Structure 1
Amino acid sequence: MFRSAPLVPRTVRFAPGIALCLAIGGVSLAVGSIAPVVGSALPAIAIGVAAAAIRRPGTPTRPGIAFSAKWLLQAAVVLLGAQLSLHDVVAVGAESLPVMLSTLTVCLLAAWGLGRAMRIDGRLRALIGVGTGICGASAIAAVAPVIAATSGEIAYAVSTIFVFNIAAAVAFPLLGHALGLDAHTFGLLAGTAINDTSSVVAAATTFGAGALGFAVVVKLVRTLMIVPISVRLALRQPRDSASSLLRQPWRILTLVPWFIVGFIVMVLANSAGLISAGVHTALAMCSGLLIAAALAGIGLSTDLAAIRRAGWRPLALGAVLSLLVTATAVGALALTGRLG
């Protein structure tokens, strides 16, 4: 009973920012219903970025905005599991592995080689490499303590990745339509080539119906690569480093994001027939609103000053890596006969 008491002030603290994100999300859904070709994802991000550029969110709304950008998106991903069967997840996950492993290998090798040539610090280029190759800020947060990255390096890497998250959300639907991709193939492309889950969701939602489920499954499989990459980096650290991953192997389990577990639970529940058609519809609508609100929160979190402080070298490395990952994914799809 005593532990629940802090929930009230915490809810009050988060409420203004969550309400703002939900309001922008609602407007974005309305825009998407009026102009389906535009969708709801891009308006949510655009409104958030524009509002942040005009005036940075104040102290009353910041906690709720940060909560929305992270937790509402992850909750939406969990709810998306109710729309898929276990067969779908296994089939799409297995199909994506060759493309995913190709893009990850190219990205990490290029981050190491190009980063050294550009005289970027080893820890910073590692953060940008895993952020681009795996899953954006989540991978950066997971790997940072393993390699003892400083707060400044983390901020630089996150700021760099954020730029290309926004660019991918806009550019990939256009690329998909230009290549004449169907929803399934676009889901493979987006899930293997876009670095952050939020941008994968935004791009797939904008592309059209049917792409979102495939893209999310591919992205979640890719996110699990945090585990082997973190272990590999830990093995390269000096034994007296700050990393505790090798001294406490059980911490490897904490690298698996909770929303992947929740997503799998929902998939299993749907596969077992525990979710009725009416609940399916309600969960889909709820997921759509949460996605729009989360993307609004991401837009409102834009820190243009931090991006400018990152300097041109990390941004240039992030740009090259993003282009290489995209080119590798398109090439892999072409080699496997998925492009028309």
Structure 2
Amino acid sequence: MAGRLVPGLLVLVAIGLAARLVAAVAGANYLIVAIVIGLVVGNAWGVPAWARRGVATHTLWLEVGIVVMGASVALDQVFAAGPRLLVLVVATVATTMLVVELLARFVFSIHEDIGSLLAAGSGICGVSAVVALAESISADETHIAYAAATVLLFDATTLFVYPLVGHALGLSDVVFGVWAGLTMFSTGPVSAAGFAFSETAGQWAVLVKLARNSLIGLAVVVYVVYYARRRGRATDGAPSTDEPRAGWRALWETFPKFIVGFVGVMVLANVGLFSDQQTAWLANASDWAFLFAFAGLGLDIHVDDLRTAGYRPVATVLTGLLLVATTMLLVVQALF
């Protein structure tokens, strides 16, 4: 089984090394270069069948990079910003989901299921939230495709646009990291945009994004209860064979388990378990894991798939993103 992964892993390594070389010559951020190279290769030639298994591990490399990155996060800074961050995360998630729901239903007249999937994807953790919610409320496959394609479109654009906006506005590392972590969608693009801005911004972006991700289980349960009651009323109380799942099981199944590893490593590092040399080694390992993850992220962005998103889902998410991102940027600048 492991042998089947090797060819694809070599592809990720090759793209990563090429990105390092190009970035050194061009003076660009090597993580963004890795995504660009992967995107060009994936769309020009595609990923051959013999490499797909290994390339698909890029999500695992992202999780490994995040877990190991915990050793570089200063816990005292997290505690200092803790109350503000917690309020910001909860407020941003709730506001984003509410705004997208309202826009979808009352402005752009999108099907209720698509609106909910877009709200989850925009508010919490991108395509992962779309899939988790879709399975829980038994959404139609076509609706899932529209929502996923829309979220992917914004993932592919915001990871380039956010650093440009941040530099143009002269944002500090902390402000940019918190802002990106609060308002961008999927974990991979958030990490890429954060570290493209600076090391400190990347750490804050990932930290805030993980806090958002942890709310996915709660959001799924809320939606499950809502749709269960709505469908129950629609069938005059008759039992449905397509009943959504709720409860603690849904919370645990949708919870991103790697967050536990990140918190564990962060705590161990801050109580002095790792030496300075070991911390530096872990930081370097995290950089390489992110490099391979972003190479795979680029390979996984398919331009043809992005074209399937209709204009109304795109308009809904774009309007919501502009409203929430602008508001939260002002709030974050005031607080940090």
TM-score (structure 1 length as normaliser): 0.89
Distance 1:241 1:225, change over 3 A: farther
Counterpart check, 1:71 vs 2:60? yes
For 2:314, the equivalent position in structure 1 comes to: 315
**Aligned partners of 1:82 and 1:154: how far apart in 2?**
37
1:242 maps onto 2:233 in alignment: no
Map of 1:111 onto structure 2: 100
Question: How far does residue 101 in structure 1 lie from its aligned partner after superposition?
Answer: 3.2
Whether 1:83 aligns to 2:82 is no
CA positional deviation for 1:97: 2.9
Report SS of the residue matched to 1:95.
helix
Q: Per the alignment, do residues 252 and 177 of structure 1 end up closer, same or farther by CA in structure 2, a change over 3 Å counting? A: same
Deviations 1:259-303 (A, max 9, x none): 101101101110221112222122111211111111111111122
Q: Does 1:23 align with 2:22?
A: no
CA drift of 1:244 comes to: 5.1
Identity of aligned residues (%): 31
Bigger mean CA offset, 314-323 vs 39-48: 314-323
Indicate the larger mover: 83-92 or 197-206. Answer: 83-92
What is the CA RMSD across the aligned residues, in angstroms?
1.9
Unaligned runs of 5+ in 1: 1-8
Q: Are 2:22 and 2:30, in contact at CA under 8 Å, matched by a contact in 1?
A: yes
Query: How far apart, in 2, do the equivalents of 1:241 and 1:323 lie?
Result: 40
Change (3 A) 1:33 1:287: farther
Q: Take 2:16 and 2:81, find their aligned partners in 1: how far apart are those partners?
A: 29
Assess, with a 3 A threshold, how the Cα gap between structure 1 residues 150 and 64 changes in structure 2: closer, same or farther.
Answer: farther
Number of aligned residue pairs: 325
The alpha-carbon distance between structure 1 residues 228 and 75, as it changes in their structure 2 partners (threshold 3 A), is same
Asked whether 1:218 is paired with 2:208, we answer yes
* Structure 2 gap segments, 5+ residues each: 233-239
Q: How does 1:81-230 map to 2 (within 5 A)?
A: 81-116=70-105, 117-230=107-220
Runs of 4 or more, structure 1, over 4 Å off, are: none
TM-score by length of 2: 0.90
CA contact (8 A) 2:39 2:301 kept: yes
Question: In 2, Cα distance between the equivalents of 1:214 and 1:96?
Answer: 10
CA 271–299 in structure 1, closer or farther in 2 if over 3 Å, else same: same
**Equivalent-residue separation in structure 2 for 1:243 and 1:33 (angstroms):** 54
1:48 equivalent to 2:47? Answer no
Displacement of 1:243 = 4.8
State the Cα distance separating 1:215 from its structure 2 match: 1.3
Code of the aligned partner of 1:72: W
Q: CA–CA distance in 1 between the matches of 2:57 and 2:91?
A: 33
Distance 1:106 1:244, change over 3 A: closer
Q: Tell me if structure 2 keeps the 8 A contact 1:28–1:40.
A: yes
For residues 316 and 291 of structure 2, the distance between their equivalents in structure 1, rounded to whole angstroms, comes to 30
